Amino acid sequence: MSELRKLTGDFPRPESPEEYRDFLDRMEALGIDPGNFYQELEMTSRLVETHRDVSWSNTSVSLHSHTFYEVLYCRNTCDVEYLVGTERYRLQRGDIVLVPPGISHRPLLPEKMTEPYERYVLWLSPDFVEKMIRQFAAEKLNVEKNSNLIRTAGTPWEFLGDSFRTGVQESEKMLPGWEVAVLGNTMTLVSQIWRALLDSRVKPLMAEQPELLDRVMTYVEENLGQKITLADTARQFYVSESTISQLFRKKMGVSFYRCVTQRRLIMAKTLIEADVPMETVGEKTGFSDYSSFYRAFKQEYGISPRQYRKLQADKL
C-alpha cells in the first residue's frame, strides 16, 4: 500500500482541472482506483510525515480513515467543507483540521471549482502523539476531546502556515538530514498548535448547523450494526428516496449505499485493529454474513480482512 505514493509521486503536480484529470487517468492506468487512493495510504515513517496535496474534484477523495493522526492546513479558500465523523465544517485559509485515528473524514468539494482545494498534510503516528501528550501533561489538554478544527486567520497564530510549509519543503527537497529536520520542525509545530489551543484568543470553529446530510450521516453512524435501507432512511426523515440519493451523489460523490458501506468498513478496520474475531467484526458492522463482509472489504481496500490484520500486527 505504501508503494502507491511512490508510484504517483513521479507524476507532475496537477495545476489545472485538465492536468488533474490526466493525473486520475494515470492512476487508473496503473490499476489504482482513484476513489480508493486515500483509503490505501499508510505511513512509511515510524513517527511523522508531511506533504502537500491538491484536489480539483470529489472523484479521488472518498470517505476514509487512517491508523495515524492526520493534521491538515487549508492553504486557500475555495468553498470547501470538511466532514469529520458526523460534524461538517466550512473551511477557509489558515484553518487547521485534526483527525484522530479511526475517524471517518473527507472534504466535500463544490461541483464547479474555480480553484483547487490545496492543503499541507501532516501525519503523526500514535506513538509520536502519545509522547507529545506526556510532555504536555501539565496543561491538561486532551487531544481526543478538543475541537477538530482551529481557525488561525486574524490571530497571532497565522504564522503556523509557514511552519507547515517548512516541513513540506524539507520533505520535497530531501537534502542531507532532511528526516531529522522534518521531525524537529514537526515537534515545534505541534508545540505551537498546542499553545494555540490553550490561547483564549483562538476560538475553535463550530460545526455547521445540521442539514439533511448531517442528520442522515448521524443516523447511519448510530445504526451501523443494523440493516440500513434507502427506503427506511427516507421515511425516517420524511423525504423521498430520490432526495437522499441525489444528495449523496452531489455532496459525497457516491451512492447512499456505497457511503454506508464505506462507513461500515471504517468501523470494521477499527475492530480488526482491536483484535475482535473476524466473524464478530462482520456482525457488528451490519453485514449479513462473513462472505459479504469479506467481499466488501477486499473490493474497497484491495486486501482481505485477515491480510489487513497481519499488516497491522507487523507494525508492532
pLDDT in tens, the chain (316 residues): 444 454 445 555 556 666 666 666 665 665 555 555 455 557 888 899 999 988 887 766 789 999 999 999 999 988 899 999 999 999 999 999 999 999 999 999 888 888 889 999 999 999 999 888 888 765 554 444 446 788 999 999 999 999 999 999 999 999 999 999 999 999 999 999 988 988 888 877 788 999 999 999 999 999 999 999 999 999 999 999 999 999 999 999 899 999 999 999 999 999 999 999 998 999 999 999 999 999 999 988 888 999 999 888 877 6
Query: Can you give the three-state secondary structure of the chain, one letter per residue?
Result: CCHHHHHHHCCCCCCCHHHHHHHHHHHHHCCCCHHHHHHCCCCCCCCEEEEEEEECCHHHCCCECCCCEEEEEECCCCCCEEEECCEEEECCCCEEEEECCCCCEEEECCCCCCCCEEEEEEEECHHHHHHHHHHCHHHCCCCCCCCCEEECCCCCCCCHHHHHHHHHHHHHHCCCCHHHHHHHHHHHHHHHHHHHHHCCCCCECCCCCCCHHHHHHHHHHHCCCCCCCHHHHHHHCCCCHHHHHHHHHHHCCCCHHHHHHHHHHHHHHHHHHCCCCHHHHHHHCCCCCHHHHHHHHHHHHCCCHHHHHHHHHHHC
pLDDT of residue 311: 84
* The listed CATH number (1.10.10.60, 3.40.50.2000, 2.30.30.60, 3.30.420.40) that belongs to domain 212-315: 1.10.10.60
Q: How far apart are CA 192 and CA 167, in angstroms?
A: 14
pLDDT of residue 55: 85
pLDDT of residue 144: 47
Between the alpha carbon of residue 56 and those of residues 16, 21, 77, 103, 109, the distances in Å are 8, 9, 13, 24, 8
**CATH 2.60.120.280, applies to 3-198:** yes
pLDDT of residue 3: 47
pLDDT of residue 172: 93
Q: Which of 186, 83, 197, 73 has its CA nearest to residue 125?
A: 186
pLDDT of residue 8: 46
Domain boundaries, the chain: 3-198, 212-315
pLDDT > 70: what percent of the chain? 83
Taking the model in full, what pTM does it have? 0.83
pLDDT of residue 90: 92
Q: Provide the grid cell at 41.
A: 495510504
Q: Which phi and psi angles does 301 have, rounded to 5°?
A: -110, -10
CB neighbourhood size of 113 (10 A): 17
Q: How far apart are CA 200 and CA 295, in angstroms?
A: 49
